[in-house]
Amino acid sequence: MSVAEKSARRFRQETPLGRTRRARKINRILAETYPDAHAELDFTNAFELLVATVLSAQTTDIRVNSVTPALFRAHPDAHSLAAAQLGDVEEIIRPTGFYRAKAKSIVGLAQELVERWDGEVPGELAALVKLPGVGRKTANVVLGNAFGVPGLTIDTHFSRLARRFLWTASEDPVRIEADVAELFPARDWTMLSHRVIWHGRRICHARKPACGACPLASLCPSFGVGELDPDRARGLLRFELAEGAQ
């Protein structure tokens, strides 16, 4: 039996209370490991965050941050973007990929904001998800980081880690959100999202997690799916692991 199989077996019969306690301990350790965790998209207001989050689909935050300064200089608000020519917007956001569909979405959502919300971004989930290109993930990013309304950001990193932690067995984002929400008080959701996503980007990679350098090793049912040798695992880290964090 492999290390990963032994680890998974150890947690397979976990009670709901045991899972909740383990999940909250994971969150505490992530808070110690990533004290500066935050949304990595650059923004100064809800409109900029909404547009940037739509652009972040199928690309990196770094790539989005490289194009949004020019986009927001040209179109600083919903009224300006709503009146923009699609071709001009496409050229600015081309490096993010899928630029034609994204340009259509962000111009369309700007037009919706102007027509229905006087150019302002609404602070309610039900209203946000009706905007072009905006789903629950994008809406929760905006609510949590621009309005202070707790929300879980179920992106690819969060989904992967939620399954590795056995917080859920689902691959459906809505089901994952519901399963994880049961484990934590609502006040923790936004910061939990940042911490889990940071961990997924920096240590618990999709293809080769740095298990041997992970501060969650003793709490993770998937320990052993990645590199176990401590030295080689540290070589996989995409940030400086604080001394004593393991």
The DSSP line for 144-196 is HHHS--------HHHHHHHHHTTS-----HHHHHHHHHTTS-GGGHHHHHHHH
How far apart are alpha carbons 161 and 221 in whole angstroms?
A: 11
Average per-residue pLDDT in the chain?
94
Return the CA Rg of the chain: 20
- All domains of the chain, ordered by start, with CATH? 3-33+152-234 (1.10.1670.10), 46-146 (1.10.340.30)
How far apart are alpha carbons 172 and 146 in whole angstroms?
A: 26
Question: How many Cβ atoms are within 10 Å of 21's Cβ, its own excluded?
Answer: 14
Question: Which pLDDT does position 243 carry in this prediction?
Answer: 39
* Mean pLDDT along residues 110-136: 96
Helix or strand run (H / E) with residue 123: none
Q: Is the pLDDT assigned to residue 62 strictly greater than 70?
A: yes
Helix axes 46-55, 136-146, angle to 10 degrees: 150
Sign of CA dihedral 219, 165, 154, 151: negative
* Mean pLDDT along residues 172-195: 97
151 near 139, Cβ under 8 Å?
yes
Please indicate whether residue 161 or residue 11 has the higher confidence score (pLDDT). 161
Residue type, 217: A
Question: Which pLDDT does position 6 carry in this prediction?
Answer: 74
Cα atoms in the 13 Å half-sphere on the side-chain side of 19: 20
| Cα end-to-end span (Å), the chain | 25
* Mean pLDDT along residues 218-245: 83
Q: Is the pLDDT assigned to residue 244 strictly greater than 80?
A: no
Find the length of the chain. 246
Phi, psi angle pair for 31, to nearest 5°:
-65, -35
How far apart are alpha carbons 84 and 110 in whole angstroms?
A: 10
Please indicate whether residue 182 or residue 245 has the higher confidence score (pLDDT). 182
Residue type, 101: A
Angle (CA) 72 132 148, round 5°: 65
Q: Give every CB contact of residue 217 below 8 A, 6+ residues apart in sequence.
A: 211, 223, 246
Measured CA to CA in angstroms, residue 1 lies from 5, 6, 8, 9, 135 at distances of 6, 6, 11, 10, 41
Q: Is the pLDDT assigned to residue 100 strictly greater than 80?
A: yes
Closest CA to 174 of 189, 159, 184, 188: 159
- Could you give the residue numbers annotated as active site? 137, 155
* Mean pLDDT along residues 3-7: 76
- pTM of the prediction? 0.90
132 near 112, Cβ under 8 Å?
yes
